[in-house]
Structure 1
Amino acid sequence: MENAAVAVVDEDQSALSRQVRAAILKPFFKEPVLIGANEIDRVMDTGRFVFVIEIPPKFEQDAISGQHPTIQIDVDATAMSQAGNGASYLQNIILQEVSTALPGTTQALPIAVVMRAKFNPNLKSAWFTAVMQVINNITMLAVILSGAALIREREHGTIEHLLVMPVTPIEIMLAKIWANGLVIVVAAILSLLVVVEYILAVPVQGSLALFILATVTYQFSVTALGILIATVSTSMAQFGLIVMPILIVMNLLSGSTTPLESMPTWLQNVMQVSPSTHFVALSQAILYRGAGLSIIWPQLLALLAIGAAFFALAALRFRKALLGAQ
């Protein structure tokens, strides 16, 4: 794990609490950010921080006097690959700094460090893996089916039939997008409700209607991408060669497998043009944290903007292809 985001609620403001904060260093963690106690729930719900360390009042005084104070580490357990290891690292850092600062204490452990996992209390990897598999399959099916439908018509010669119909290239594209997208959205919802929630017993916290809205928006983006790739491919074989590396990058670097925070900054910025990055973030926020529209609207707007860009490029390429066929 690298560059995990950490916030600190320091209600003691003592030399010892500052020493603990200063010991949280890169590359495992980002520089800690001080927040107020009333901000904990909000920053955890938005996914801004993976860890929040709560240092109580009179922490240093109680540690010196042998009162055995407690530091609490709140963990966003939706970040499965970071939660367990990161919490252990933080616990060791805190205990080491306290032991170094208070060498004269008679207790082996002058303080207690407790961990509270939010959104996945038992740290079950199945909760994370099940939802991410649904998202990855949505991506794969949407790109492949939409692009393959267009190439199949071109290879079978049925694209000429569309030229004599009173429809525009954009209307043809929209038909391709929604014909495949509707089936995939229905399959995704059934997978979420039947497989993830019922069979695997993964609790879904947020609004199903909001997740459906996000899925439909995502479908628009990735099916437009599939059609765009199809317009630059001359055959199904070439389409497959182009699509496979794109899908691998979208799935592996979207945050569904490897946390974005663990990637180099330049790569994080590059992946912002991928719709899967934003869909993974808002899906985790909705399904795990119960986030509402007020929290996930930036990702939703990003999906719309990326989808509009892909659709515009695909429309230009598709119109050119139709004119060439004439």
Structure 2
Amino acid sequence: MGRWLFNIYRLGVKELRSLWADPILLFLVVYMFSFAIYAVATGAKTEVSNAAIAYVDLDQSDLTGRIVNAILPPEFDTAQRIELSDLEAAMDSGEYVFVLSFPPRFEADVIAGNYPSVQLNVDATAMTQAGNGAVYLQQIIASEINRFVTGDDEASALPINLVITAQFNPNLQSIWFSSVMQIINNVTILAVLLTGAALIREREHGTIEHLLVMPVNASEIMLAKIWANGLVIVIGAVLSLALVVQGVLQVPIAGSIPLFVAGTVLYLVSVTGLGILLATFTTSMPQFGLLAMPVLVIMNLLSGSTTPIESIPVWLQTVMQISPSTHFVAFSQAILYRGAGFDIVWSDMLVMIGLSVLFFAIALSRFRRTMATSQ
């Protein structure tokens, strides 16, 4: 056992030295846990922000003016008035996300109780902005019409006192979600790429033959690659949480970082095993990249890190339970967002342990066959 552990340690040190000597991979690790987190968190917002809006006013009344003046930043840009004849061309060109159209005698019909129609044209190619922005505009129009009809500039009291409490993200900022989830996604990507690249690098440099004649076995080689590359990823993830997420982006972390690290280590055993497994089916980095790309896309898109897992079909939810990323995302969200303890996340950790054993066993079996054919 002592010799086995020593071999794993020395081979892992060799892996770290190989990674240190590869400037491209080093740059990739630094970039993925720094600028990539910041750029996605600040650039890919899901809330409505500075949406371009225009209006067609065929009534030109006090009421339409009040509605237009109530459409304010930061959700919307200043509303631009256009002619009815320009509406279709403006929407086709993508110049505006929203265009309001007020009909003639709009104010008179409101006063008379004739329920006039206001047309809201929405460019739904930007789905999130379109959906949320349409709701905001409906609320603005309804509020201004209500105030105009009642003659009371104060909001009318509801028959109930509705108190909305947003848990875990009180200001509903997408940056709180996207920054942390980008770290989770990057852990998956790097775990697959680094371990797979490590095996491919052995073949391309001819050092795999050196390993075959050394008194080491396949499990020692695999575990060395897993702990060495996993260590780099864990350090990168923790530093990114502390420096980029909490430091630069000012996003609070609710739960225990040591518990998150423990779950990340369990997850890395399975996902690095997947990287080695994929690398055994390829002979070069381009082949490995083409094989890993669709696997990573599916794992990230259907893991719950981009959209809620409940939003995908039930049969696909069942299939995705065999993916370790699904359980790691649920585990990470519970700890980092909601401050969950071990008593809540133990089931996800137990599943990750089982999947780690399964993926490691499959990868080890395939790796042994690959080494046997190389001799």
CA distance in 2, matches of 1:126, 1:307: 31
CA distance in 2, matches of 1:111, 1:271: 42
CA distance in 2, matches of 1:198, 1:163: 46
Match of 1:287 in 2: 336
Match of 1:196 in 2: 245
CA distance in 1, matches of 2:291, 2:162: 50
User: What SS does the aligned partner of 2:163 have?
Assistant: strand
Out of 304, 311, 320, the position equivalent to 2:360 is 311
CA distance in 2, matches of 1:221, 1:315: 11
CA distance in 2, matches of 1:233, 1:296: 36
1:115 to partner: Cα distance: 1.2
CA distance in 2, matches of 1:241, 1:174: 25
CA distance in 1, matches of 2:267, 2:371: 27
Match of 2:302 in 1: 253
**Residues paired across the two proteins, number:** 226
Out of 227, 248, 256, the position equivalent to 1:178 is 227
Matched, 1:220 2:269: yes
1:110 to partner: Cα distance: 2.4
Task: Give the residue type in structure 1 aligned to 2:357.
Answer: A
CA distance in 2, matches of 1:274, 1:112: 44
Task: Give the residue type in structure 1 aligned to 2:365.
Answer: L
Structure 2 portions without partners, runs of 5+: 1-127, 140-155
CA distance in 1, matches of 2:268, 2:157: 56
Matched, 1:155 2:204: yes
1:311 to partner: Cα distance: 0.7
- The 1:286/1:108 distance shift into structure 2, 3 A limit, reads closer
User: What SS does the aligned partner of 2:166 have?
Assistant: strand
Matched, 1:229 2:278: yes
1:288 to partner: Cα distance: 1.1
Task: Give the residue type in structure 2 aligned to 1:234.
Answer: T
1:227 to partner: Cα distance: 0.4
Task: Give the residue type in structure 2 aligned to 1:116.
Answer: T
Over aligned residues, Cα RMSD in angstroms?
Answer: 2.0
Match of 1:211 in 2: 260
1:108 to partner: Cα distance: 7.5
1:146 to partner: Cα distance: 0.2
1:111 to partner: Cα distance: 2.1
1:234 to partner: Cα distance: 2.5
- The 1:194/1:108 distance shift into structure 2, 3 A limit, reads closer
Q: Provide the TM-score with structure 1 as the length reference.
A: 0.66
1:151 to partner: Cα distance: 1.2
Match of 2:373 in 1: 324
CA distance in 1, matches of 2:374, 2:289: 23
1:113 to partner: Cα distance: 2.4
User: What SS does the aligned partner of 2:162 have?
Assistant: strand
Match of 1:244 in 2: 293
Match of 2:76 in 1: none
CA distance in 2, matches of 1:256, 1:133: 8
Amino-acid identity (%): 65
Match of 2:215 in 1: 166
CA distance in 1, matches of 2:304, 2:247: 25
Task: Give the residue type in structure 1 aligned to 2:202.
Answer: E
User: What SS does the aligned partner of 1:218 have?
Assistant: helix
CA distance in 1, matches of 2:320, 2:362: 19
CA distance in 2, matches of 1:123, 1:109: 24
CA distance in 2, matches of 1:190, 1:109: 48
After superposition, what is the alpha-carbon deviation per residue over 1:14-49, rounded to whole angstroms, capped at 9, x for unaligned?
A: xxxxxxxxxxxxxxxxxxxxxxxxxxxxxxxxxxxx
CA distance in 2, matches of 1:199, 1:239: 35
Give the structure with higher Rg (CA).
Answer: 2
Match of 2:176 in 1: 127
Out of 293, 314, 319, the position equivalent to 1:265 is 314
User: What SS does the aligned partner of 1:196 have?
Assistant: helix
CA distance in 2, matches of 1:248, 1:309: 21
CA distance in 1, matches of 2:343, 2:362: 30
CA distance in 2, matches of 1:233, 1:307: 22
After superposition, what is the alpha-carbon deviation per residue over 1:259-286, rounded to whole angstroms, capped at 9, x for unaligned?
A: 1111110111111111111111111110
Q: Provide the TM-score with structure 2 as the length reference.
A: 0.58
User: What SS does the aligned partner of 1:204 have?
Assistant: coil
User: What SS does the aligned partner of 1:129 have?
Assistant: helix
